[in-house]
Amino acid sequence: MDRAKKLKILKKSFLGEYKPIKFKGVPITVYKGEIFVGDGSKTELISKIASEHNARIFYECDSDGKVIGISIVPNVGFNGETMESWFEKNGLKVLKKLAELFS
């Protein structure tokens, strides 16, 4: 599959038009409206990546309150930006930085 087709599928997954996509070898999954990182060890770096790309984070915790994952969610809506435009402008950059962080 060529690169353009892969990018189109990633975008469709983020927009909820395709099933979630889990990256191989890194704890990253693209879901409808969010990028999930299934590793709670690098919260400060993930938070920085999110804030640099107009997104916020939500912590996923286990029953003991330990962070086990982080959801990155775009700040869209009030500023007139759509999920699609956010992904086109920021989504691939966020995914690339996260993949580098966990490689």
Q: What is the pLDDT of residue 102?
A: 93
Average pLDDT of the residues in 27-51: 96
Mean pLDDT score across all residues of the chain: 94
pLDDT for res 93: 97
Query: What value does the CA radius of gyration of the chain take, rounded to a whole number of Å?
Result: 13
From the number of C-beta atoms within 10 Å of its C-beta (0-12, 13-18, 19+), residue 18 rates as: middle
* Predicted local distance difference test score (pLDDT) of residue 54: 94
E-state strands within the chain: 21-22, 28-31, 34-37, 55-61, 67-74
At 78 the pLDDT is 72
pLDDT band at residue 50 under the 50/70/90 scheme: very high
Structure tokens at 40: 């709670």
* C-alpha–C-alpha distance, residues 14 and 20, integer Å: 8
Quick count: other Cβ atoms within 10 Å of Cβ 89? 13
